[in-house]
Structure 1
Amino acid sequence: MSLLFFTQSCYHYRITTSKFDPSTGYQKKTAHAFFWGLVQKNVIATNCDSLNLKSLDEVRITSNFGYSVITVATLGIWSPVQIEWKCPKPCPHEGEL
């Protein structure tokens, strides 16, 4: 019974575009929300910015058993999640300038 309890503790949310075709691998950061989401810091996709892209191709949000324990133990005051993303391929340039 305890094995079942400890192995069923992750969940993922995945958001993609309809024309999913990433140009990068996953980049990831741990995001922290405090006071039931009232205080949080934006996660910046610096790798997409460095490619001069203004969009994301896929975003995946993950929680695990440890993050859930932290959230429950602090009564939601601290809630961490892992955010992963992939950048899209740049648009091809047509014609000459």
Structure 2
Amino acid sequence: MKPKLADEAFVKARLGELPGWGLEETKWIVKRYRFRAFLDGIAFVQEVARIAEEANHHPLIAIDYKVVTLKLTTWSAGGLTELDLESAGRFDAAYAAVRGEAQEGE
């Protein structure tokens, strides 16, 4: 298990490298992704699920028509770890892969 990131300033600095991700209640990172069509969002969620299974690290996922919200924390550590930040980067890469026709703008 990766250790909890206790320094909030460090977490905020790292989030600066992950556009669109925000800190919520010091123990969550959150991002909303927008899509042109509902099924584009669903395809993205399927890719997120594949990545999450591979890493054995699963985000909370909310699907609101053409907006998908991902929320990450590491339950076993009681807060944020490097695994959350790494996963956020992988989810962003998945989004970039479907952006061409699926993205409506962030």
TM-score above 0.5: no
- Structure in which a larger fraction of residues adopt helix: 2
Q: Which has the larger radius of gyration?
A: 1
- Structure in which a larger fraction of residues adopt strand: 1
Return the TM-score normalized by structure 1.
0.30
Return the TM-score normalized by structure 2.
0.28
